[in-house]
A and B are shown apart, each in its own frame.
Chain A
Amino acid sequence: MINRLIVLLFVPALAVLLQAAGDLPAVGDGTSPAFTHVSPYYLERAHDETGAPNFVTAVLADYRGYDTFGELTVILTAGLACLLILGTRDDPPAPQNRDRS
């Protein structure tokens, strides 16, 4: 029953995605939206505005600094989640008490 439901949901979704994939711009197409909005601005102005010869750094750390801050927060959250889930297993109590006292 549940498998049939998954197939019924999955096949139409796959059909929609495949249909939409045909409309994606070709790889390397210079007129696609990804290359026509902010990319020319970055390429023309990044060196003068940020002084970074490496435009990846200029975008990552400067124009999209807020985004990188979010990435770092995601990594911190993942680490803290690991600590909360795995770090609470039953420790042998005796050595811990001896260390703290």
Chain B
Amino acid sequence: MRSTFGSPVLDAATRLLVPFMWLFAAYVLIHGHDSPGGGFQAGVILAASLILLRLVRGQGSRPNLSSRDAVTCACAGPLLYGGIGVASLLSGGNFLDYGVLPLPMDPVQVRVIGTLGIEAGVMVGVTGVLVLIFDVLAPWDDGTV
């Protein structure tokens, strides 16, 4: 593990901050249905925590996304979003009309779950893209990406 500009103070502060950043990202994602927030904002918070870990503890530190996983996440997000759209198409509705998904709940509750699903897709995609852009801009000695 290569410590980029780490120090014990930065390391301790990062260890303290990152779990709360993840918690806040989850809150912004889930509570985005009722309050300002949503997938884009949650993805940015999650990516900020991952980039903070990269800056302080080096790229190989764990837990973190590898560059390859970041590309996978960036592509999986739109795939999840479009997958929900196609699933509602196959369930007999219009594209992205996810109120018709065959889940054992109220139609309104199904809509809430569908909204959460596509917001989660947005979050995964935004996180992957931001980490990916950071990785291609930051030159690492081991020549990854």
Chain A residues with CB under 8 Å of chain B are 50-54, 56-57, 60-62, 65-66, 68-69, 72-73, 75-76, 78-80, 82-83, 86-87, 91-92, 95-96
**Chain A interface: which of B5-13, B18-26, B49-57, B69-77?**
B69-77
**Mind listing 27 A-B residue pairs with CB under 8 Å?**
A50-B111, A51-B108, A51-B112, A52-B115, A54-B34, A54-B36, A57-B32, A57-B33, A62-B111, A65-B96, A66-B95, A66-B96, A68-B81, A69-B78, A69-B81, A69-B82, A69-B96, A72-B77, A72-B122, A76-B77, A79-B128, A79-B133, A82-B137, A83-B136, A87-B136, A91-B145, A95-B142
Chain B residues with CB under 8 Å of chain A are 32-36, 38, 71, 74-75, 77-78, 81-82, 85, 95-96, 108-109, 111-112, 115, 118-119, 121-122, 125-126, 128-130, 132-133, 136-137, 142-143, 145
- Taking each of B77, B82, B133, which has the highest tally of chain A beta carbons within 10 Å of its own beta carbon? B133
Whether the Cβ atoms of A52 and B33 lie closer than 8 Å is: yes
Tell whether A56 pairs with B136 under 8 Å between CB atoms, given A50-B111, A61-B115: no
Tell whether A72 pairs with B38 under 8 Å between CB atoms, given A79-B129, A79-B132, A83-B71: no
Interface of A is mostly: helix
Bound CA span A80–B71, Å: 8
Which 7 A-B pairs have CB atoms at the shortest separation, nearest pair first?
Answer: A79-B129, A51-B108, A91-B143, A65-B96, A86-B136, A61-B115, A87-B136
Whether the Cβ atoms of B115 and A69 lie closer than 8 Å is: no
Whether the Cβ atoms of B74 and A79 lie closer than 8 Å is: yes
Bound CA span A53–B115, Å: 13
Chain A residues in 8 Å Cβ range of B122 = 68, 72
Chain B residues in 8 Å Cβ range of A86 = 136-137
Distance (whole angstroms) from the CB of B86 to the closest CB of chain A: 11
Whether the Cβ atoms of A72 and B112 lie closer than 8 Å is: no
Bound CA span A61–B33, Å: 10
Whether the Cβ atoms of A72 and B143 lie closer than 8 Å is: no
Chain B residues in 8 Å Cβ range of A52 = 33-34, 111-112, 115
Distance (whole angstroms) from the CB of A76 to the closest CB of chain B: 5
Chain B residues in 8 Å Cβ range of A68 = 81, 118, 122
Distance (whole angstroms) from the CB of B10 to the closest CB of chain A: 27
